[in-house]
Structure 1
Amino acid sequence: MGPIQALGLLSISWALWKLLRHRVLPSSLDNIPGPASESFLTGVFSKLFDTDAWAYQKSLHRTYGNTIRIHGILGEKELYTYDPKAMHHIFVKDQSVFEETDQFIQLNNLIFGPGILATLGEQHRKQRKMLNPIFSIAHLRGMTPIFYKITHKLQDAFLKKVQNGPQEIEIVSWMTRTALELVCQSGLGHSFDTLEEDTAPHPYSIAVKTLVPKVANPMMRYATAFLLPLVSGIGSASFRRWAVNTFPWKNLHDVRDVVDILHSTSVNIFESKKEAMANGGGTGLSIEEKDIMSILMKANMTASTEESLSRDELIGQMSSLMFAAMDTTSSALSRLLQLLSLHQDVQDKLRKEINDAFEAEPERGDLPYDKIVSLPYLDAICRETLRLHSPVIMARRVARRDIVLPLMVPIKGLDGREISEVYVSKGTNVTIGLLASNTNPALWGADADEWKPERWLSPLPDEVIAAHLPGVYANLMTFIAGSRACIGFKFSQLEMKVVLALLIQAFRFSPSKAEIAWKIGGIVVPTVVGGDKNTPQLPIIVEKI
């Protein structure tokens, strides 16, 4: 055997050892109860992350409690938890230890560039420090007129569709278009959509809407989990591009084409904004150039060398923020309208609150920021929907070093002993049940699985308060917690409330005859039973008030 062959064999052996050592060696998680592996290749992932995993996940919680050992890809032993104290350590106290997985960072870097979703440590801290002031309440007040301007266009589009009587409208497509345009204008100072019927969609709109289904494809998920960490650093960028182009896999090529559109559009917008600023002008779309990217670029010009962001980092923020703000908000808005269509009494009560608020305005204009965010019943409906129907139901982290993870609720080990803390070894993956925490009956009560907006009009259960859940919003884990919590959660709140206020004021929503199934993926989306399972759809009957 020659030296090259020996080096190759050594490299393969090293890679296999790195891959399999956590799977074949004894683990500190071995004493923790959990479900049997379904297969060596996928563990329990084929069930846990299935699009219809609702019942399976509930069965795990009922059977094993809130801290569980699960088997991952190729038999890897992992931890699954929604214990309040454990979540506090994962997301807040020990967040520098429990970081995003390599798969998450590398995939987001390949798709969006080195933006806030694809960075760790000091680089992430620097980006977030630059972005935080932009999502302050002061700036949201300035963005509110943009939100109303766009939502009035949506309202006009619905009025045209129902002018001759009630009509069945496919809600998801309209909520996605609206959410995208809201973040386009307020985020980029750019417009992609007039929100008119039968308007040809912009290539960027098509690309960003198809990204999640392409990446969430089961084979793509396993490939990114298993292969991406191994191959992402091989060779130069041009070599990796050649490999992607050469590999005969249509779904991979589709993702490549989507990424190309996202990147080229972001670069074009960035360069046009940069040129406009250099010439003392602006885009003319956002009010006083208060869009996120204008503010970020101006702040970056005056930042110190140590705190400033590179050109690639600035461009990386654009598609990162667009993606993060669009699908989650459109999912939440679609769910809100479906629930209101199914609960006419709640819809009527909300409409009265909104009408009374508009009538109280001196000039009968749009509700100002402070007024719309403080409407109690509107706020209760949003909170309850985001509690029970979080658009993202799980998060993933990996332990970057050995650490002890304490539990609020002890579990009984397989050997019969009580376990109040779990030793988590370096490299162990941890799945956190965000929705499981939001619907934990031990905290939220026996009616935790019921949609009851009124629960937010009274003090929360003592158990919720005592648990000290680390979430940044309303004792919920919907927007996660710590330094990687959703930076735009207040932005999302305002979007939802403005859209609901204008739509509920003008229209009555009623359920259609179609049976709807909500599917788990990167984002939870609705589909019509018996229809195209790969296309999110939610038909609702809309009637002019």
Structure 2
Amino acid sequence: MPRFWVLLSAGPYDGRYAWQNHPTGQPIREAKGLYVYDPKALGNIIVKDQMIYEEPSWFISWNLMTMGAGLLSTLGDHHRKQRKMLNPVFSIAHMRHMTPLFYETTHRLRRAVTTQVAGGSSEVDILNWMSRTALELVGQGGLGYSFDLLEKDIPNPFGDALKRYLPLNFALQLWRMFSPYFTKCGPPGLRRFVAKFLPYSKMQQLREIVDTLDYQSRKVYNQKKVALEKGDAAVVQQIGEGKDIISILMQANMDASDEDRLPEDELIAQMSTLVFAATDTTSNALARTFHLLAEHPDVQEKIRAELLAVGGNDDIPYDQLVDLPYLDAVCRETLRLHPPVSFLSRETRADVVMPLSQPIHCVDGSIMNEIPVPKDTTVIIGIRGCNRNKAIWGEDALEWKPERWLSPLPKSVPDARVPGVYSNLMTFLGGGRACIGFKFSQLEMKVVLAVLLRSFRVTLSDKEIVWNLAGVNYPTVGREASRPSMPLKLEPINLA
């Protein structure tokens, strides 16, 4: 059995993570693992042999303990059953119906920012506003629940718990790695009792967050359940008039056969899972887009001209909005070059042979067209590496060029057969565990950009913005800051 290589490092993009841009993927550190961005190999990992390449056991068990048996906590037939029930609520038809709700929320954001920059060009923490907006949009569109009026800071237990959950996850990384062993230590009730007395403050914080998420999810669920039992009139009176994802899922579940029906606990678990998965990824993608537009004012002006030509100051209908070529090109190029999640992990459940689209030259001088991968190997899915692969995207693969999407892509792009669900990219993954909400995310990005770019001109502040690689990539002011932040200058535009 040959030795394997894993490409691992730490730090900001422009420094120690340069390996993700390396055209040949030379190894950085020897270990029993693989960093993979070869498209043929990725196809085997996430499609053909997806039952062999599964999420790490610690990832599944930790999510199960903290969020319940939602999409991020299930495998195999159990996961497919959940996706079968959820798929219809993420359809294009449903996104079209949700567009007015997205606009209503984003106009509240616009009014709040207008107040903040009333005196002229002012510095605004774009990341903060994008995070609040993403949380409110998934709250309204996903749960039929308002987290944040976007007018002033009003504490919200559900929203506050979610904002604290991701940073705490990273602080407890060692505990996460050992979570498969925790799940074997008696029933959940016993584990919760023991956790209550652990003399570790971060674990107590996590316990409080999990309790809050569970309580608030059940509260929202029970309110919706009562409304559904009362009939259409009660449903219409709820936020979103019962058109939110969870309300529709609950109704579909009531109408499903016994074989397809999901238990209540799994429906409740989908609520925390949905909000968790949709908030930081989309908000940070939007923040990155605004940062790039501030760096490229010519691109910003082209988008603004396109938006004004189509809609003036009016809301642009769904079908027109998603077909705007330059706006779409900017979104695609941002998600190609800067995917919010740069890599994901898998573990092999059996010995398997991984085929390659291009042979690799090993350090001992031999050439390999396929790689035998033993059971229990860690495999890193190189989302960012594949999206920036010069063999696929050409010599300008590391450049942000929205115009590349306005003409036919190089033949090497379709020929590569990248197994991603979206636009020859790995950004939203592919196969049976592709991001189920990628259309939701795309709509959110386009609505927010369409509203704000017609109201404000975005420019750089005098602060250095550094993007940091993490579970979800995030910006900070400078390289030493720990708190995510991205200040940019916004100037109101008078279109009268």
TM surpasses 0.5: yes
Write out per-residue CA displacement over residues 452-487 of structure 1, whole angstroms, 9 at most, x where no aligned residue: 111111111222221100001111100001010000
Match of 1:496 among 438, 442, 445: 445
Which of structures 1 and 2 has the larger relative contact order (alpha carbons within 8 angstroms, sep 6+)?
Answer: 2
CA–CA distance in structure 2, aligned partners of residues 70 and 263 of structure 1: 41
Offset at residue 274 of structure 1 (A): 0.4
Greater shift, 203-212 or 261-270, is seen at 203-212
Partner of 2:96: 141
Cα separation, 1, equivalents of 2:476 and 2:392? 31
* TM superposition shift of 1:224: 1.5
**Residues of 2 paired with 1:149 and 1:257: CA distance?**
33
Task: Give the Cα separation in 1 of the matches to 2:52 and 2:285.
Answer: 31
Matches within 5 A, 1:31-46: 32=4, 34=5
Q: Tell me how far 1:71 sits from its aligned partner.
A: 4.8
Q: Are 2:280 and 1:327 aligned?
A: yes
Q: In 2 relative to 1, CA 256–206 (structure 1 residues): closer, same or farther, beyond 3 Å?
A: same
CA distance in 2, matches of 1:122, 1:469: 25
Q: CA deviation at 1:232?
A: 2.1
Amino acid across the alignment from 2:162: V
Q: Distance in 1 between matches of 2:314 and 2:492?
A: 20
- Map 1:286-325; keep pairs closer than 5 Å: 286-325=239-278
**Per-residue Cα deviation, 1:402-437 (whole angstroms, up to 9, x for no partner):** 211101111123432211111112221111110011
Q: Give the Cα separation in 2 of the matches to 1:261 and 1:526.
A: 28
534, 540, 543: which one pairs with 2:482? 534
The answer to whether the aligner puts 1:129 opposite 2:107 as a matched pair is no
User: Are 2:361 and 2:368, in contact at CA under 8 Å, matched by a contact in 1?
Assistant: yes
**Residue type of the partner of 2:246?**
M
Contact 2:71 2:83 in 1 (8 A): yes
- Contact between 2:389 and 2:397, CA under 8 Å: does it hold in 1? yes
Match of 1:216, SS state, is: helix
Q: Please tell me whether residue 367 in structure 1 is matched to residue 335 in structure 2.
A: no
Cα distance change, pair 109–69 in 1 and its aligned pair in 2 (3 A): farther
Please name the residue that 1:157 is paired with: 112
> Which of 402, 412, 431 is equivalent to 2:351?
402
Q: 2:60 aligns with which of 88, 105, 110?
A: 105
- Structure 1 stretch displaced more, 398-407 or 235-244: 235-244
SS of 1:117's partner is helix
Q: Alpha carbon RMSD of aligned pairs, Å?
A: 1.8
Quote the residue 1:23 is aligned against.
none
Paired letter, 2:235:
G
The 3-state SS of whatever aligns with 2:160 is: helix
SS of corresponding position for 1:406: strand
- For residue 244 of structure 1, report the CA deviation from its aligned partner: 2.1
Give secondary structure in 1 for the equivalent of 2:16: helix
Match of 2:12 in 1: 52
Question: Which residue of structure 2 lines up, in the alignment, with residue 523 of structure 1?
Answer: 472
**Helix, strand or coil: the match of 1:391?**
coil
- Unaligned segments of structure 2, at least 5 residues: none
TM-score, length of structure 1 as denominator length: 0.87
Q: How far off is 1:350 after superposition?
A: 0.6
How many residue pairs match? The answer is: 491
2:307 to 336, 346, 354: 354
Which TM-score applies when normalising by structure 2?
0.95
Quote the residue 1:262 is aligned against. Answer: 213
How far did 1:223 drift?
2.9
- Cα deviation, 1:106-131, whole Å, max 9, x if unaligned, reads 11111210001110011100100001
1:278-289 equivalence runs, <5 A: 278-280=229-231, 281-282=234-235, 284-289=237-242
One-letter amino acid of the counterpart of residue 201, structure 2? K
Alignment of 1:180-329 (within 5 A): 180-196=135-151, 198-217=152-171, 220-225=172-177, 227-280=178-231, 281-282=234-235, 284-329=237-282
2:127–2:284 contact (8 Å) kept in structure 1: yes
1:57-104 Cα offsets, whole Å, 9 max, x none, are 4337638x34859556xxxx1111111100000011111111111011
Is 1:117 matched with 2:72? yes
Structure 1 residues 80 and 68: alpha-carbon distance in aligned structure 2, compared to 1, 3 A threshold = farther
- 2: CA distance between counterparts of 1:335 and 1:126? 35
**Structure index of larger Rg:** 1
Q: Does the residue aligned with 1:186 lie in a helix, a strand or coil?
A: helix
What is the distance in 1 between the residues matched to 2:461 and 2:402?
A: 23
Tell me the alpha carbon deviations over residues 500-534 of structure 1, each in whole angstroms, 9 at most, x when there is no partner: 00000011011111111111111101111167x33
Cα deviation, residue 366, structure 1: 1.3
CA distance in 2, matches of 1:408, 1:163: 55
- 8 Å contact kept, 2:13–2:467: no
Inter-partner Cα distance in structure 2 for 1:29 and 1:386: 35
1:389 aligns with 2:342: no
Deviation at 1:394, TM superposition (A): 0.2
